[in-house]
Amino acid sequence: MKNFPFLKTLLLMLAALPLDGPQAAAENWQSWRGPRGDGTSNEKELPEKWNGRTGENIAWKVALPGVGHASPITWEDRIFTVSTLEATGERLLLCLNRKDGSLRWRQKVFKGPLETIHRLNSRASSTPATDGKLVFATFLKVDGRTIPAPNVGAPRLITPGTILVAAYDLEGGKKWVAEIGDFISAHGFNSCPIIYNDLLIINGDHDGDGYIAALERNTGKVRWKIDRKNKTRSYVTPIIREIDGRTQMVLSGSKSVASYDPATGKEHWFIDGPTEQFVASMVYDGKLLFITGGYPARHILAIRPDGRGNVTDTHIAWRTNRGAAYVPSPIVEGPYFLIVSDNGIASCFEAKSGKRLWMERLGGGHSASTVSAGGLVYFVSDKGVTTIVRPGSKFDVISKNELGERCSSSPAISAGTIYIRGHKNLFAIRTAGK
């Protein structure tokens, strides 16, 4: 039978799809900011109203052990996240059942002293990643030493350490653990791993000899490791795109914006500045890359990504300082670029030109990165209030929805469900009856 190999492949693909939930062929949200690394979801008919206090459209909520700001990720019928038990120093990788939030397994990645952190950070802030076979988690491992904090206004002691990367299979079996390099920062640690082909890539920007490292996913061995010349802490997760006939891994951080070949670490182009430190990830609309940052100065830049070498003076399409974000990552939805500043002021731009269409206060501080689905954009505040906006020339608020607890994590979207991690609970938000 000539079509047998095709039919066999098709049956295997169908067998791998999750059977529960409203959308059998739903996207997995398998790493930081989802399947494209930019906060966008292809899902439709997500809930537009919910209330964590009354239970409206809350499919379930479960208390998570310990403390952590890492976002949840999903793979078929599993949810993964990380946490730290501060009383014992245990760093945990958690696997929950997507259907009801029950704990499938819990693994202690390591146990050790607690690192010093910024008051808005946690000791489990790095969102894990999965390729459907292994799940990868990163933490800072310290030995209890203290050193004077570099690059700070007020002198104080902090704990240096190393970046620890661990890989587990989907049943919780440990496959490998690697320590890939030093890390020093007065603000603590947050580096979300990303997957490219057979590699796991980790940004090691810090106040020392910074680097980016690519590990072999199956073994944890370093395939390549490059220096970051400006030796300055930043917390940006790169995005990877096919642009200008090249595979480009792009990130801001360490006093620069830079594009690399993710297969080798070779630099394509870079921009000096425009400021010192960055947290928010970049986004891309098919023509322009957009960054927001940082400290001490705030900037929004639109960048043409077809350059070579130093493009500081040639490839910035537009820029503004008003409404820039330091921590929350922005989003592109259709022809619009949307962003919310850390103090809760949201802006909508015409992405191509940089024309600001509106600028409005949402209320409360914002740390979570923005997500979108079905043509709508979701802004989650530190108070746990999600403002849903329809992008356009006018400020069009669809709804405001209370979680009922504070939130420092970014949402995940999969199988008709929005997953939001509060400071105490993980919430599954789904339209009742679906």
pLDDT tens readout for residues 379-398: 999 999 999 999 999 999 99
Query: What pLDDT score does 25 carry?
Result: 55
Range of the domain at 232: 33-429
Evaluate the omega torsion of the peptide bond into residue 52 and state whether it is cis, within 30 degrees of 0.
no
Residue 18 has pLDDT above 70, yes or no: no
| Residue 111 neighbours by CB distance under 10 Å | 11
Would residue 22 count as lying in a domain? no
CA-CA-CA-CA dihedral for 210, 225, 279, 268, to nearest 10: 110
Would residue 8 count as lying in a domain? no
Query: What pLDDT score does 14 carry?
Result: 38
Three-class secondary structure of residue 6 per DSSP: helix
| Residue 225 neighbours by CB distance under 10 Å | 15
Give 5's pLDDT tier (boundaries 50, 70, 90).
very low
Give 26's pLDDT tier (boundaries 50, 70, 90).
confident
215 beta partners: 200, 222
Closest residue by Cα to residue 194 from 133, 138, 122: 138
Evaluate the omega torsion of the peptide bond into residue 47 and state whether it is cis, within 30 degrees of 0.
no
Residue 265 has pLDDT above 90, yes or no: yes
Q: What CATH number did the domain enclosing 96 receive?
A: 2.130.10.10
Residue 184 has pLDDT above 60, yes or no: yes
Give the Cα separation of 229 and 159 in Å (integer). 22
User: 8-19 burial, b if ≥16 CB within 10 A, otherwise e?
Assistant: eeeeeeeeeebe
Would residue 367 count as lying in a domain? yes
Average pLDDT over every residue of 205-210 = 98
Rounded to the nearest integer, the mean pLDDT of the chain is 94
Give the Cα separation of 73 and 127 in Å (integer). 8
Residue 432 has pLDDT above 90, yes or no: no
Per residue in 106-133, pLDDT tens? 999 999 999 999 999 999 999 999 999 9
Would residue 163 count as lying in a domain? yes
Cβ atoms of 50 and 56 within 8 Å: the answer is yes
Give the Cα separation of 90 and 215 in Å (integer). 24
Would residue 70 count as lying in a domain? yes
Q: Percentage of the chain surpassing pLDDT 70?
A: 94
The total number of structural domains in the chain stands at: 1
Residue 134 has pLDDT above 90, yes or no: yes
97 beta partners: 78
Would residue 7 count as lying in a domain? no
Would residue 99 count as lying in a domain? yes
Would residue 14 count as lying in a domain? no
Cβ atoms of 256 and 301 within 8 Å: the answer is no
